[in-house]
Amino acid sequence: MKHWLRNILILTLWLADRVMQPTGDVIAAEGDTVTLDCTFETSYSNPTLFWYKQDGNNNPKFILSCSQFGTVNTEKKYEERFSSKVNATSNSVPLKIQKLQLSDSAVYYCALQPTVTGNTKTLYKNLWSKDNTILHNIH
Whole-model pTM? 0.68
- The domain limits of the chain are 18-127
Long-range Cβ contact pairs of 52-59 (< 8 A, separation 24 or more): 52/108, 52/109, 52/111, 53/78, 53/106, 53/107, 53/108, 53/109, 54/106, 54/107, 54/108, 54/109, 55/103, 55/105, 55/106, 55/107
Question: How many angstroms separate the CA atoms of 77 and 112, rounded?
Answer: 22
Positions of E strands within 16-84: 18-20, 34-36, 39-41, 48-54, 61-67, 70-74, 82-84
More confident residue, 35 or 134: 35
pLDDT in tens, 81-118: 999 988 888 999 999 999 999 999 999 999 988 654 44
pLDDT score, position 79: 76
pLDDT in tens, 31-43: 999 999 999 998 8
Of 37, 44, 35, 59, the closest CA to residue 113 belongs to: 44
CATH number assigned to the domain with residue range 18-127, chosen from the 4 options 3.40.220.10, 3.30.365.10, 2.60.40.10, 3.20.20.100: 2.60.40.10
pLDDT in tens, 2-54: 544 444 444 444 456 888 999 889 999 999 999 999 999 988 777 889 999 99
pLDDT at residue 128 tops 80: no
pLDDT score, position 12: 41
Task: Name the 3-class secondary structure at 53.
Answer: strand
pLDDT score, position 96: 95
